[in-house]
Amino acid sequence: MPEGEAEALWHASCVAVGERGLLIHGPSGAGKSALALKLMALGAQLVADDQVLLRRDGADVVARCPPQIRGLIEARGMGLLRATARDAVRVALVVDLSRQEDHRLPPRHHIAVLGVTLDLVLAVQADHFPYALLQYLRDGRQA
């Protein structure tokens, strides 16, 4: 769908930390649901898993879940798990699991979603990644 459109369906997962949403995208098998589950174990709320409805609302992108999969998240090897789901959240950060971050102190990355520029984080293969994402959502990034 062209970036100027007002709505889109993404193959992604989304969780909320307070009023800030994290959109996790990448190819099938990249670990979107696994990362969402880790963040939920740390207190994040599920918004959507596998499919995320995105809608532009002024200068914001709002994420919500298609009704047929609301409150469900896949856990590989266990099946679909039930989870208390939040209705919608404003997306504050996007994680791209298809690209690896190579820098110890990376430059800021951005992505245009429905014509809105959002902060982007590339995948980090380290145990601290979910914790760092949670902290980023809570208090932002310095540089």
**Region of poorest pLDDT, from 4-8, 9-13, 86-90, 98-102:** 4-8
Model confidence at 4, pLDDT cuts 50, 70, 90, reads: low
Model confidence at 5, pLDDT cuts 50, 70, 90, reads: confident
pLDDT at 1 over 50: no
Q: Is 34 left (phi over 0), alpha (psi -120 to 50) or beta?
A: alpha
Using an 8 Å Cβ cutoff, are 46 and 71 in contact?
Answer: yes
Model's pTM, two decimal places? Answer: 0.94
All structural domains of the chain: 7-139 (3.40.50.300)
pLDDT digits (tens, 9 = 90+) for 64-83: 999 999 999 999 999 999 99
Token code pair at residue 117: 């520029």
